[in-house]
Amino acid sequence: MIVNQRVRKYFMAVLAAGMLAAAAIAVAHHSFAMFDTTASVTLTGTVTEFQWTNPHAYIELDVPNSGGGGKQHWSIELGSPSILQQSGWKYKDLKFGDKVTATINPLRTHEPGGLLVQVTLPDGRVLGNGPGRGPAAPAPTPAK
Amino acid sequence: MKRLSIPLPQAVLVLALVLFYSLGVSAVAQTPSVKPPDLSGAWGPYGGGRGADPKLAAVPASPIVVKPEYVKAYDAIRAADAEANRRGEPLASASSACIPSGMPSMMAVAIYPIEVIQTPNQVTIVAEAFMQVRRIFLDRPQLPIDEVPPGYFGRSVGHWEGDTLVVDTIGIKTSVQYQRVPHSDQMRITERFRLAAPDVLHDQITIQDPVTLEKPITYTLSYRRLPKYEMVEFVCDNNREFANDKGAVQLKLGGR
């Protein structure tokens, strides 16, 4: 299932200002301009691969077409393992076959890919895309 | 053979004097007047936010003023960057190709930590992003600038001035740029590392270039100590960003 929505403008203005301030001194792996950070898409599907790699981690996701029949494959870019670890991720948090719901900033090219905002794991935890991206703090681990 | 005999009190005095001078001289030679602080360990960017002390924060770069003959090209590449980003087609760069950022950019890559390994004769700095390593020699002089083959991290020598580690770096490839600022093979980077607080490290960076810069660029990076942090590896074996035929970064989709 895919849901499109516009992200509230003032939130993006604040985020953009923060990123600009950080960019004044620091450098990053690449510009995020290829993603439309003013738009978000919510995808619910099945993980086909979770790549815990540099310079970025990726979630490969099969998303069933709404209205039944067929599916579309999406590639979702995350931060690097270092960045993700700093916001509570572990490399086995996702695996083949997991059902997840992910919110992404889509590619401006309209190809089926995007930048992760947050993902809800099968155990209910919600993880973001590194400090300052997605949920502010990792959700508490559910009681065993 | 007749043995030379020295009265005991005089022998003790001579021995004491010899010991005093040898110890005293070597102590002066080997021990700086102030014991250098220990900068060893992992450090992350000291950011803003709750609990942050603005007095310890990073200081942004002074205005970048390039020599007149470099203004046109510098303005053009920045305009091209901005326009490409507006279009959503960011220009490919060394960084998007996973080429190390080099000096001085490597000292602040996004929120990646650095690690300082301090010994009496060498300070080694490892940047987690792209696993960049620089070695700062404390026991030898700098070479003439034309004898250092240009690279990404250059040749660094340093010395302690009280509580401050002063580092001189030369020999950076002209393609290794800070914020697109043009530089020549005469660029020189001076750094002053000091603890601004027990767990806050400042690196004041000054970039000088008599060929391309009208005046030096100075900024200060601020790091907080990460006592329990374990540095992670960073091997770019899954770089999906590639430069398309327009020179823009594009993302390879659908897995490796």
The count of structural domains within chain B is 1
Shortest alpha-carbon distance between residue A128 and chain B (Å) = 15
Q: Residues 77..136 of B with a Cβ closer than 8 Å to A: which?
A: 84-91, 93, 95-96, 98, 101, 105, 108-113, 128-129
The pLDDT of residue B9: 58
Exposure letters A46-74 (e unless 16+ CB within 10 A, then b): ebbebbbbbbbbbbbbebeeeeeeeeeeb
Q: Is residue B128 predicted with pLDDT exceeding 80?
A: yes
Give me B233's structure tokens. Answer: 């590896």
Compute the mean pLDDT over every residue in chain A, rounded to the nearest whole number: 81
pLDDT (tens digit, 9 = 90+) per residue, B10-25?
Answer: 655 555 544 444 444 4
Beta-carbon separation of A86 and B98 below 8 A: no
Q: Is residue A136 predicted with pLDDT exceeding 90?
A: no
Q: A66-80, B64-78, B115-129, B137-151: lowest mean pLDDT where?
A: A66-80
Contact B183, B209 (CB under 8 A): yes
Task: Select from B234, B240, B246, B252 the residue whose CB has the most chain A CBs within 10 Å, as the one to mutate to test that interface.
Answer: B240
Residue of A nearest to B102 (CA): A27
Beta-carbon separation of A27 and B111 below 8 A: no
Q: Does B241 map to a domain? A: no
Q: Tell which wins on pLDDT, B46 or A1.
A: B46
pLDDT (tens digit, 9 = 90+) per residue, B166-189?
Answer: 999 999 999 999 999 999 999 999
Q: Does B254 map to a domain? A: no
B221: amino acid identity, one letter: L
Beta-carbon separation of A113 and B86 below 8 A: no
Q: Does B252 map to a domain? A: no
Task: Classify the C-alpha dihedral B168-A28-B43-B100 as positive or negative.
Answer: negative
Nearest to B127 by CA among B152, B93, B149, B147: B152
Q: Is residue A34 predicted with pLDDT exceeding 70?
A: yes
The pLDDT of residue A14: 43
The pLDDT of residue A32: 84
For residue B216, the domain's CATH number is: 2.40.128.20
pLDDT (tens digit, 9 = 90+) per residue, A48-78?
Answer: 999 999 999 999 999 999 887 899 999 999 9
Q: Once rounded to an integer, what is the mean pLDDT over residues B126-146?
A: 97
The pLDDT of residue B10: 60
Shortest alpha-carbon distance between residue B28 and chain A (Å) = 40
Containing structural domain, residue B222? 41-82+93-234
Instruction: Give the C-alpha separation, B193 to B203, whole Å.
Output: 5
Q: What are the domain boundaries of chain A?
A: 2-128
The pLDDT of residue A16: 44
Q: What is the DSSP annotation of chain B?
A: -PPP---HHHHHHHHHHHHHHHHHHHHHHHS-SSPPP---EEEEE---STT--GGGS-BPPPP--B-HHHHHHHHHHHHHHHHHHHHT-PBP-TGGGT----TTGGG-BTT--EEEEE-SSEEEEEETGGGEEEEEESSSPPPPGGGS--BSS-EEEEEEETTEEEEEEE-B-TTS-STT----TT-EEEEEEEEEETTEEEEEEEEE-TTTBSS-EEEEEEEEE-TT--------S---EEE-TTSBEEE--S--
Q: Once rounded to an integer, what is the mean pLDDT over residues B214-227?
A: 97
- Give the strand pairing for B188-197 and B164-170: antiparallel
Strand partners, B134: B125
Residue of B nearest to A35 (CA): B88
Q: Does B14 map to a domain? A: no
pLDDT band at A131 (very low <50, low <70, confident <90, very high): confident
Task: Report how far Cα B78 is from the mean position of its chain's Cα atoms.
Answer: 25
- At the topology level, CATH places domain A2-128 in OB fold (Dihydrolipoamide Acetyltransferase, E2P) (2.40.50)
The pLDDT of residue B223: 97
Q: Does B35 map to a domain? A: no
pLDDT (tens digit, 9 = 90+) per residue, B77-100?
Answer: 999 999 999 988 999 888 899 999
DSSP-assigned letter for residue A33: T
Compute the mean pLDDT over every residue in chain B, rounded to the nearest whole number: 89
Q: Is residue B46 predicted with pLDDT exceeding 70?
A: yes
Q: Does B132 map to a domain? A: yes
Q: Does B247 map to a domain? A: no
pLDDT (tens digit, 9 = 90+) per residue, A14-23?
Answer: 444 444 444 4
pLDDT (tens digit, 9 = 90+) per residue, B34-43?
Answer: 789 999 999 9
The pLDDT of residue B7: 59
Beta-carbon separation of B238 and A55 below 8 A: yes
